[in-house]
Structure 1
Amino acid sequence: MESKRLYQIVARRIARIIEENAGNPDWHLPSERELAEELQVSRTVIREAVIALEMRGVVEVRGRAGIVVLPARFSQIGFDAINTDIGPGPFELLEARLAVESGAAYLAAQRATNYDIMELEECIARMQREADVPLLAERGDREFHMSIAGITGNAIIYSMVEALWAQRDASRMWKKLHEHIHAESVRPLWIGDHHAIVAALKMRNPEAAHKAMTHHISNVISELLQADERGRFASPAE
């Protein structure tokens, strides 16, 4: 599947569109929403394609200015190199976390001890102490999710969650995407999500725990996708 990832195909298509319009000084790259409609793919795929192009110096994301083409550097980029990304895109990874970790929360609610709850609360306290730490360098967040996987008592679930987080940490695309997140605004939201997950575990309510974890990861997806609409990522206001 690595050789056929959709965002890579779309990134090449966008690069070709840029090349075809390179001689037109009045042309500008369409917004992400317009590209999604034109290429008939989801906005998450467009976002991943834009990240791939940004990493190669084809475009640069400049807040409200939108996606700016860098013609001086564009000619140095080989289209085939876009296929060299390893692993899934950030949204594919989040989709997997949504499936696996929501189920883990369901099981954890059935098996959590009072000690487990205390450990999770300490993870949240650590997240709060890491207010000045870059989001990708936080340890409390990862420890929280790994603790829930551990509470399930299922070694396979634990290894799956561990692998997903390891893949996140190794992803250059994930790191690039996080450069555009406004940490000061999202951190309180995400910490609140973690409190909601713990509250569901305290009640030993599997359905509520599943819902709370789903809500949290959905919030992460929404932030990564909608950041441009708050003027911090890609498209100008439409």
Structure 2
Amino acid sequence: MREEPVPHLAGGQRLYQVVARRIARLIEENAGNKGWRIPSERELAEELNVSRPVIREAIIALEMRGIVEVRGRAGMVILPPRSSGQISFDLVGIDVGPGPFELLEARLAIESSAAALAAERATSYDLMVLEECIARMERERNVVLLHEKGDRDFHMTIAKMTNNAIIFSMIEALWAQRDESIMWQKLHEHIHAEDVRPLWIGDHHSIVAALRLRNPDAAYKAMARHIRNVINELLDADEQGRLDGSIARES
């Protein structure tokens, strides 16, 4: 039976929290049905009328609460209740901060516009600094993606290039939230850095090329394309990482 669409947010709730509670309730309602299986992420996205990134964030939240575990080919597995045998919906709803894809959506909106403004104000010195950031990213082969300094410095340099203190503080705040996010750390457990780093470095070269042309429209599109690529690659890499982990456990 098809679920009702997830309602619009109220009272500052995060969408993934609402979805996580809906999935948890679905699990509880079917606890006595031995033939029932939890739907796949794609099926949940269709049933709840939300995007795959939101479903992924909700699943990460449920994993953090010990309600489900994603095991590659086996899909989502419901874990035995830890205590009373009932799911605590209060715990499911606890805010653990913005979801990784929620942060990326905010970055898409703000950093793309910042890149367009930076293109109008770029200096030769700025461009050299950005090239050095990329060179540092290329040297950071043994660094966890979450802790890459070259990537952060690249984006913060573009924020500075806008010469707008408010834009800079907004972008700085988004990156600070990313660094402190438990959900980001959980997502990155399954990411194979060497698979995605070359793609992201190529995106950074494209951004610099657009800035060098002093073309705001090209810079906006290059930054937007990069962040959309990050969203898609994180989804795909996370799925592959979970699958590889499942194969390793089985072998």
Fold match (TM-score > 0.5): yes
Q: Deviations over 1:162-190 (max 9, x none)?
A: 00100111111111112222211111000
CA displacement at 1:68 relative to structure 2: 1.6
Structure 2 residue 139 is matched with structure 1 residue 158: no
* Cα contact 2:136–2:150 (8 A) shared by 1: yes
* Cα contact 1:149–1:157 (8 A) shared by 2: yes
Q: Give the aligned partner of residue 93 of structure 2.
A: 83
* Cα contact 2:207–2:222 (8 A) shared by 1: yes
Give RMSD over aligned pairs: 2.0
Q: Secondary structure at the match of 2:141?
A: coil
* Cα contact 1:2–1:87 (8 A) shared by 2: no
Identify the match of residue 27 of structure 2 among 18, 23, 26.
18
Aligned pair count? 234
Q: Secondary structure at the match of 2:241?
A: coil
Q: Secondary structure at the match of 2:195?
A: helix
Query: Which has the larger displacement, 165-174 or 22-31?
Result: 22-31
Identify the match of residue 75 of structure 2 among 63, 66, 76.
66
Quick one: distance in 2 between partners of 1:145 and 1:7? 26
- Show structure 1 runs of 5+ residues with no match: none
Q: Give the aligned partner of residue 54 of structure 2.
A: 45
* Cα contact 1:56–1:77 (8 A) shared by 2: no
Query: Which has the larger displacement, 164-173 or 65-74?
Result: 65-74
* Cα contact 2:96–2:183 (8 A) shared by 1: no
CA displacement at 1:76 relative to structure 2: 7.1
* Cα contact 2:112–2:223 (8 A) shared by 1: yes
Quick one: distance in 2 between partners of 1:20 and 1:6? 21
- Show structure 2 runs of 5+ residues with no match: 1-9, 247-251
Query: Which has the larger displacement, 56-65 or 106-115?
Result: 56-65
Identify the match of residue 101 of structure 1 among 95, 111, 116.
111
Identify the match of residue 131 of structure 1 among 138, 141, 148.
141
Q: Secondary structure at the match of 1:41?
A: coil
Aligned counterparts, 1:155-234, within 5 A: 155-227=165-237, 231-233=240-242
Q: Secondary structure at the match of 1:25?
A: coil
TM-score of the two chains, using structure 2 as the length reference: 0.87
Quick one: distance in 1 between partners of 2:166 and 2:81? 49
CA displacement at 1:40 relative to structure 2: 2.1
* Cα contact 1:60–1:70 (8 A) shared by 2: yes
